[in-house]
Amino acid sequence: MKKFNKHTRVRDHFDRVKNHLEKGSDELVDSLPLFIRIMFLDLPNEWTLKMNKFDFILNVKLHKSYNTSIKIIGKVKYHEFILPQNNNCDYLSINEFLSSELIVLENQPYTVQDFILSIGYNGGIHLTSDQIKHKTVFENFIEKHESISLYLLKQIGQVVIKMYDEIFEIEKGEKLFGFSPTFKDSPMIVNGGRMLDGLYYNKSILQFPIIDSNLIGIRICLDLKLVDTSIKNGVIFQIGNRKFKENSIITLTQEGSFLIFRHVKGLEKQEIKVKVNEECNRNFSNLEFCIYPDGKALYAENFFTKFQSPTKVKIQLGFSKFCLGSDLSGIYKGKFYNSTLIIQSITKENIMRPLISTSIRKLLKVTPIQLSYQTLVRHFY
């Protein structure tokens, strides 16, 4: 029976909370605490993996004045504004948000998590809580200020649901371009009122899903203009999923005047190291990095094969993401310009099928093509 399908019920919880928010239903009092507890607080937890299977870096988008918008009612203080009004906002990880101060009672601070569980553990998930703080928040704030509590609860629900909505837009194909964890992480396209000739990545990151979980070969094509040949460990891109340590991690880094393309899977490793063409520091160079189903890797520059790896490492990715400008955790970043990105899967018959294609210069029409490992002349599409 579908009602007992554990894989669909996790999404049912999300849809129920979203429906209650959209309708302004007071049933949110029961649905949101349950959703937050099972999603973020119960351990061990495979639900977050199910909801965020691509391993995106996610943040809760908050009102710019969230930390400072404190309203006082007698001896009670609470943070009034949670939901952002525009792009002028702050960001926190979900754990940072749940641990942030929301209410102060008798000079004792209580977090968003305390507030949510005080609702859930007093007549919802449980009849009563065995923790004094949940009883205190419920009796001294929630029961005495019901309208304020519901107002805060709805704002909390909206920012949490919005965080996941972006993922589902990607899964349904409604959001084709990559997205950044925060607005300040976005690559620059305009500087001083002038349109740049490519997206400028400087401490920037765009995340794209690799939706084909049965990928056996991959081709990455991009145009690249470097900014500084003294940069060390500057990540151009990385592909993988941090939750699956045994799977492939594919990385392109800049090490001074060299580019290093590295594929690591467990104890296996293959690497291509190439000297940066001086032209790449002044103009865009068209670069291709390929790993075929049999594990062979190659590098092509301006549509001609330049290097083939002597070692073989077969790809194992599953659901994963492509991070442009950063490593998978958003820690190590590069500095460069890029305007076109094409990622294709490779079949056993060497058919290149489009997965991701984006360009700020023109509309791309990428169709499947056949390219063998031995093909020397290699156009993007």
Task: Check pLDDT > 90 for residue 174.
Answer: no
- End of a domain among 142, 171, 200? 171
The tally of domains found in the chain comes to 2
**Domain with 115 in it:** 2-171
Q: Are residues 31 and 96 in the same domain?
A: yes
Q: Are residues 72 and 195 in the same domain?
A: no
CATH number at 286 reads: 2.60.120.200
**Lowest-confidence region among 8-12, 67-71, 80-84:** 8-12
- Segment 286-315 shows an average pLDDT of 94
Which pLDDT score is estimated for 176?
Answer: 56
Beta carbons of 283 and 225 less than 8 angstroms apart:
yes
* Average pLDDT of the residues of the chain: 89
Q: Are residues 24 and 78 in the same domain?
A: yes
- Of 249, 235, 261, 251, residue with least CA distance to 320: 249
The model carries a pTM of 0.88
When comparing pLDDT for 114 and 52, which is higher? 114
- End of a domain among 171, 195, 220? 171
Tens of pLDDT, residues 305-360: 999 988 899 999 988 999 999 999 999 999 999 999 999 999 999 999 999 988 88
Task: Check pLDDT > 70 for residue 139.
Answer: yes
Q: Is residue 22 part of a domain?
A: yes
- Of 337, 321, 221, residue with least CA distance to 282: 337
Which pLDDT score is estimated for 173?
Answer: 61
- Split at pLDDT 50, 70, 90, the class of 1 is very low
Tens of pLDDT, residues 223-275: 999 998 889 999 999 999 998 889 999 999 999 999 999 999 999 999 999 99
The CA distance from 235 to 334, in Å, is 5
Handedness of CA 142, 144, 146, 147 (dihedral sign): negative
Token readout for 87 is 């792009």
The CA distance from 32 to 156, in Å, is 9
Q: Are residues 113 and 252 in the same domain?
A: no
Q: Is residue 375 part of a domain?
A: no
Tens of pLDDT, residues 203-222: 999 999 998 888 999 999 99
